[in-house]
């Protein structure tokens, strides 16, 4: 009986921990990232994750030819200088590099409707002198306008 109680407590703890991380990332995206989209309208889709410094993520997104887009990669301050991103076409050609452009957002349109690959990296934070890599929420958000 005692063990069962421990088990239930641990299970609930794990469940709540996982939900708390998701909830924190959601709140961060809502408060810190979505407002940066204006005057573009968010497309309603959510693409966020908790990344460790040095981690990377990629996302294939469809862009339609009749709309203008704003693509933002927004990362929590704990990740130092912030995540940077590159956008590539089908052939792997780099269309945008946020590090080179020194911007965390990109306004663009496409010649024809197509998929583009967005790859994001949370670089190593030189200010983190511990052995434990920092982790924080990274969001890829997309806004559109006619």
Q: Which is nearer to another protein, 82 or 133 (CB)?
A: 133
* β-strands 84-88, 41-42 pairing: unpaired
- For 133, the token pair is 């890599």
Shortest distance, CB of residue 27 to another protein, whole angstroms? 9
Rounded CA separation 15/108 (Å): 40
Residues in contact with another protein by the rule CB under 8 A: 3, 6-7, 10-11, 14-15, 18-19, 22-23, 26, 29-30, 34, 41-47, 49, 51-52, 54-68, 86, 89-91, 95-96, 99, 106-116, 119, 121, 123-124, 133, 140, 142, 144, 146
In the complex, the smallest distance separating the C-beta of residue 38 from another protein, rounded to whole angstroms, is 10
- Closer residue to another protein in complex, CB, 104/144: 144
Q: Given the complex with another protein, which of 11 and 77 has the nearer CB atom?
A: 11
Cβ neighbours of residue 75 closer than 8 Å, sequence gap 6 or more: 51, 82, 83, 122, 136, 137, 138, 139
Q: Closest separation between CB of residue 77 and another protein, Å? A: 20
Closest CA to 96 of 86, 84, 82, 110: 86
Q: 63 or 72: whose CB is closer to another protein?
A: 63
Q: Tokens 């924190």 belong to which residue?
A: 24
Beta-bridged to residue 35, according to DSSP, are: none
Min dist. Cβ of residue 13 to another protein (A): 10
């Amino acid at each position: 009986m005692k063990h069962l109680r421990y088990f239930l407590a641990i299970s609930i703890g794990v469940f709540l921990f996982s939900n708390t991380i998701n909830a924190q990332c959601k709140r961060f995206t809502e408060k810190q990232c979505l407002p940066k989209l204006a005057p573009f309208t968010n497309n309603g889709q959510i693409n966020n994750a908790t990344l460790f410094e040095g981690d990377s993520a990629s996302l294939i997104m469809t862009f339609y030819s009749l709309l203008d887009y704003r693509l933002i990669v927004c990362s929590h301050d704990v990740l130092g200088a912030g995540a940077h991103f590159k956008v590539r076409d089908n052939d792997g050609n780099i269309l945008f590099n946020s590090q080179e452009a020194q911007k965390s957002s990109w306004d663009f349109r496409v010649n024809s409707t197509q998929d583009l690959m967005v790859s994001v990296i949370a670089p190593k934070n030189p200010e983190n002198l511990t052995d434990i890599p920092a982790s924080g929420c990274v969001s890829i958000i997309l806004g559109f306008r006619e």
